[in-house]
């Protein structure tokens, strides 16, 4: 029996451009239990399918560590700086 995946969309902070979206898409897609990642930098959302609560938790932690916390989560200055680094990484690899 195949696991049913859950589809969710989340608003995230610090998403500035297509390069940021590219980084998020690549990094989230590498996580086990996550697939079909779609990032919309215009409305600051990320959507993906996930297997279970563990995969969702790992995705949220990854987003935070990249500098893109969920709306409502802490967004300290260091987190904002991380988003600029992630954005630059996306520009280099895009």
Alpha-carbon dihedral sign for residues 58, 37, 22, 29: positive
CA 34 centroid distance within chain: 11
Q: Which helix (H) or strand (E) holds 71?
A: none
Average pLDDT, the chain: 91
Can you give the pLDDT at residue 2?
57
Full-prediction pTM beyond 0.75? Answer: yes
* Burial letters 72-87, b for 16+ CB under 10 A, else e: eeebeeebeebbeebb
Q: What percent of the chain has pLDDT over 90?
A: 71
Reading the block at residue 18, the tokens are 């297509």
Is 50 in contact with 94 (CB distance < 8 Å)? no
């Amino acid at each position: 029996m195949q696991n049913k995946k859950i589809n969710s969309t989340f608003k995230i902070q610090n998403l500035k451009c297509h390069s940021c979206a590219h980084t998020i898409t690549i990094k989230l897609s590498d996580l086990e239990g996550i697939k079909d990642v779609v990032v919309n930098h215009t409305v600051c959302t990320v959507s993906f399918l996930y297997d279970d609560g563990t995969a969702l938790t790992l995705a949220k932690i990854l987003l935070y560590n990249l500098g893109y916390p969920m709306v409502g989560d802490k967004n300290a200055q260091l987190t904002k700086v991380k988003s600029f680094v992630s954005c630059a990484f996306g520009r280099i690899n895009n």
